[in-house]
């Protein structure tokens, strides 16, 4: 994504759409935008493939709120982050689809999880960096 955003930004500078001084800001914005778009498109395909569109929407609504409040996990590359995000979504969708959980267990889990999130968060973001 970094290379693509660099190429796009260079073209914008060459066409005098942006100034060279603002190219690094533009490149960063393009890179983040491209990464979010790719993640969103892959998530939509996963939801359609699993026939679980509503579950995916609920997952993202809850996940975005939790992520904004509690921080998150940062991996050393975008590709690693993309794989981790897709694996998280797939894991949850398969759990929802194939695990039969009673309503009382779900409510108990929610009652214990919400206070735990409240008291343990917000936390500093965790940074995982590989040695390779």
Structure tokens at 5: 């955003």
The length of the chain in residues reads 132
Identify whether the C-beta of residue 123 lies closer than 8 Å to the C-beta of residue 90.
no
pLDDT higher at 68 or 101 = 101
**CA 15, CA 9: separation in Å to the nearest integer?**
10
Q: Which whole-number Å values give the CA distances from 66 to 78, 106, 123, in the listed order?
A: 21, 18, 12
Q: Does position 41 have pLDDT exceeding 60, yes or no?
A: yes
Closest C-alpha to 89, from 42, 124, 123: 42
Q: Does position 45 have pLDDT exceeding 90, yes or no?
A: yes
* The dihedral sign for the CA sequence 43, 48, 52, 53: positive
To the nearest whole number, what is the mean pLDDT of the chain? 84
The verdict on pTM exceeding 0.85 is: no
Tokens 């190429």 locate to 7
13 exposure class (CB count in 10 Å sphere: 0-12, 13-18, 19+): middle
Query: What DSSP designation does 21 have?
Result: G
Identify whether the C-beta of residue 39 lies closer than 8 Å to the C-beta of residue 60.
no
pLDDT tens sequence across 81-91: 889 889 989 99
Q: Does position 115 have pLDDT exceeding 90, yes or no?
A: no
């Amino acid at each position: 994504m970094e290379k693509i955003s660099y190429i796009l930004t260079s073209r914008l500078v060459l066409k005098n759409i942006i100034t060279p001084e603002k190219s690094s800001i533009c490149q960063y914005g393009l890179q983040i935008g491209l990464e979010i778009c790719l993640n969103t498109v892959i998530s939509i395909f996963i939801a359609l493939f699993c026939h679980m569109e509503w579950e995916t929407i609920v997952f993202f609504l809850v996940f975005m709120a939790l992520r904004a409040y509690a921080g998150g996990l940062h991996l050393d590359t975008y590709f690693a982050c993309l794989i981790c995000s897709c694996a998280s979504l797939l894991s949850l969708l398969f759990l929802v689809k194939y695990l039969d959980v009673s309503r009382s267990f779900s409510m108990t889990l929610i009652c214990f999880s919400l206070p735990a999130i409240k008291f343990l968060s917000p936390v500093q973001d965790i940074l995982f960096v590989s040695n390779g």
